Chain A
Amino acid sequence: MTTTTSRAPQPAAARRPATTRRRPFNARRAGAWALLALAIAVSVLPFLWVFRTALSTNGALATQSASLLPADFTVGAFMRVFGLQSPADAVAEGGSGAAIDFWLYLRNSIVFSSITTAGAVFFSAMAAYAFARLRWKGRNAVFSLFLGTMLVPPIFTALPNFLLIKNLDLLNTMLGMVLPYVFMTPFAIFFLRQFFLNMSREVEEAAMLDGAKHLRIFFQIVLPNAAAPIATLALLTFIGQWNEYFWPLLVGSQDEVRVLQVGLGVFKSQSPQGAPDWSGLMAATLVSALPVLVLFAAFGKKIVNSIGFSGIK
């Protein structure tokens, strides 16, 4: 299950392009499938291993480190993560016994990701409408400037943004955490503008002849018609925000606003001297991944199909 084993696909792949599309079975096809299956295994099996670890006790993990089934099955690690285990039990199972408020982090993650997603998607849709449908001087220049921000590395703006949030006295507040994301993301504007440009404008023009104003057209025609791409964008933005680590680490290091990703790092460093609380750590990891896994299970097709090149032609 090492990543190095998956080095194999490339040379084999290079040797056999463009063949055997319609043949039912042959050795090449089987070989290609085998390599693909290997890559899928490398991508997916680690998660099963994490699950198995989370259902084990730490003591048994050390002695049965290679058994495929949970070592000494228990849900104690999950109870530990959610603070349902007494400190004594936790220590007995190899936890640190220190309280860690995962419910709070979970709530913070949900609030942080939801607010930033809702704000960024809505405001970006408004801006995208102005870029795609309205005529105004300097439109293309402003749009290019917006796009240019995609190239600025986040670390570069993170330092001054941190200072700004600090000067506003918003460190360790949810407001300070969401502010840089909530007004727009360059990607969201680009993504929606591209879609608006390709949308038929007949209905909008008819409405305009009837005297409808842009605000009404935006809310009653454009937004409903763009529901599908907006949903995709919201999904991608939410997952991205859920996984955000650097900014929440800088601005939200205290418990009351700490998000799961930052909490995980803390959980890791909390193990006392000696063996780390692997099962607790893996249970916490799974809990942190769960919302994304659920979204992926529900909307996998939307997400997978969104990965590609829009506007390449």
Chain B
Amino acid sequence: MMTTLTKNPAASSDQRSARPGRIRRGGLRRYGDLKIALFFIAPAMIGFVLFYVVPTIRGIYLSFTEYNILGDPEWVGLDNYAAIAKDPLFWNSLAVTGQYVLMNIVLQTVLALGLALLMDRVAKSTLVRGALLLPYLMSNVIAALLWFWMLDYQIGIVNQFIEWAGLPRVAFFGSEEWAIPTQALINTWRHMGYTALLIFAGLQAIPQHLYEVAKLDGASPFQTFRKITMPLLRPVLVLVLVVTVIGSFQVFDTVAVTTQGGPVNATRVIQYYIYQRAFTESDFGYGSAIAVILFLILALVAFIQMKFLKGNESDLD
């Protein structure tokens, strides 16, 4: 999904009450708009309740049941969770996803930060940013197929280059050790420019005069980067990390299109495992329980990132 990020979504919601001239009317008909508000919000509310609230509750409920889609869900308490704790395929999917996220996020963030700094120095043009954004506008399926072809063992262009360099060909999708790094590289390729643009927007928000003062004080470029750019960019970087890590954990499309969990279990990431349990094996209770665990992991990861990287504090104030 395309996202625009915000630091504190609720912060601006009260700004209207601060306006003079509104207060008078507000006093006259306090909360008087409820009826018309209900009308305006009704369609969105239907979607919100039917496709977000109810499924969230139902998903948690299903995780405590055995349900194979035929018949009714049967309450089994914590059985699914107990089984998951002993399920080697689950632990494997967790480990595989972890590797994927780590490789993807480290590489992508480092590259994006570098690109954002480069853009900030030499090229702010829309054309440059547009070119870098192009992969992100393509679907995961297209990104996966494009690299599936370019990385083909026999006649893929990348393996041609590798051979010209005098190295042995690489089975990017076919070997257990390369399958996950390859998936991570594909996602990095797709998100690198987009992430760079987000960081670039953060760089633009750093007041220019700070750099000028630093220059007058004789700060070296490296000092400026460490003492000005990084601290002031931190809130943006944390937000970028939270969003990209959460997205990265939910890798599915590229795996479904290319390796389908294989070779062996090398790319059976969490979401693909959930999909298999629920839809291929019709085990909705078990699938839902893994989905609940994934949900908790994501909430925990986001919380830890916000807490320890202090993403909600800015040094700009």
Judge whether A164 and B50 touch: CB under 8 Å.
Answer: yes
Taken residue by residue from 109 to 126, chain B's Cβ proximity to chain A (1 for < 8 Å, 0 otherwise) reads as 011011101110111001
Judge whether B40 and A1 touch: CB under 8 Å.
Answer: no
Shortest CB distance A125–B (Å)? 9
Contact residues in B for A224 (Cβ distance below 8 Å): none
Given contacts A66-B160, A135-B31, A190-B9, contact A278 B149 (CB under 8 A): yes
- A19→B118 CA distance, assembly (Å): 11
Which residue from A10, A21, A136, A161 sits with its C-beta under 8 Å from B33? A136
Shortest CB distance B91–A (Å)? 18
Number of A-B contacts (CB under 8 A): 380
Which residue from B13, B118, B193 sits with its C-beta under 8 Å from A13? B118
Which residue from chain B places its CB closest to the CB of A166 in the assembled complex?
A: B69
Shortest CB distance B200–A (Å)? 8
Judge whether B121 and A16 touch: CB under 8 Å.
Answer: yes
Judge whether A155 and B291 touch: CB under 8 Å.
Answer: yes
Which residue from B141, B185, B198, B274 sits with its C-beta under 8 Å from A264? B141
Which residue from A19, A61, A123 sits with its C-beta under 8 Å from B221? A19
Shortest CB distance A211–B (Å)? 14
Is B75 at the interface (CB under 8 A from chain A)? no
Contact residues in B for A49 (Cβ distance below 8 Å): 150, 157
- A124→B41 CA distance, assembly (Å): 8
Most B-side CB within 10 Å, residue of A11, A43, A213, A242? A43
- A33→B135 CA distance, assembly (Å): 20
Is A3 at the interface (CB under 8 A from chain B)? yes
Judge whether A307 and B201 touch: CB under 8 Å.
Answer: yes
Taken residue by residue from 155 to 188, chain A's Cβ proximity to chain B (1 for < 8 Å, 0 otherwise) reads as 1110111111010000000000001101110010
Taken residue by residue from 119 to 158, chain A's Cβ proximity to chain B (1 for < 8 Å, 0 otherwise) reads as 0000110110111101111011011111101011111110
- A44→B13 CA distance, assembly (Å): 41
Is A29 at the interface (CB under 8 A from chain B)? yes
Judge whether A155 and B294 touch: CB under 8 Å.
Answer: yes
Judge whether A309 and B298 touch: CB under 8 Å.
Answer: no
- A310→B239 CA distance, assembly (Å): 12
Shortest CB distance A140–B (Å)? 5
Which residue from A134, A145, A190 sits with its C-beta under 8 Å from B6? A190
Which residue from B6, B118, B275 sits with its C-beta under 8 Å from A310? B6
Interface SS majority for chain A: helix
Which residue from chain A places its CB closest to the CB of B277 in the assembled complex?
A: A159
Report the count of interface residues on B (CB-CB < 8 A): 132
Interface residues on A, range: 35 or more
Judge whether B250 and A194 touch: CB under 8 Å.
Answer: no
Judge whether B224 and A236 touch: CB under 8 Å.
Answer: no
Spot the interface stretch: A73-81, A84-92, A94-102, A245-253: A245-253
Which residue from B44, B113, B221 sits with its C-beta under 8 Å from A126? B44
Judge whether B250 and A153 touch: CB under 8 Å.
Answer: yes
Contact residues in A for B135 (Cβ distance below 8 Å): 43, 46
Judge whether A311 and B9 touch: CB under 8 Å.
Answer: yes
Is B310 at the interface (CB under 8 A from chain A)? no
Judge whether A157 and B40 touch: CB under 8 Å.
Answer: no
Contact residues in B for A179 (Cβ distance below 8 Å): 50-51
- A16→B117 CA distance, assembly (Å): 9
Judge whether A164 and B189 touch: CB under 8 Å.
Answer: no
Is A265 at the interface (CB under 8 A from chain B)? yes
Is B173 at the interface (CB under 8 A from chain A)? no
Which residue from A139, A144, A149 sits with its C-beta under 8 Å from B48? A149
Taken residue by residue from 71 to 103, chain B's Cβ proximity to chain A (1 for < 8 Å, 0 otherwise) reads as 000000000000000000000000000000000
Judge whether A288 and B139 touch: CB under 8 Å.
Answer: yes
CB<8 Å pairs between A and B, sample of 13: A143-B10, A144-B10, A155-B294, A159-B55, A160-B62, A183-B48, A183-B50, A292-B137, A292-B138, A304-B126, A309-B198, A309-B205, A312-B205
* 5 further interface pairs, Cβ-Cβ under 8 Å (given A39-B193, A149-B48, A151-B246): A3-B185, A15-B222, A17-B117, A39-B118, A313-B205
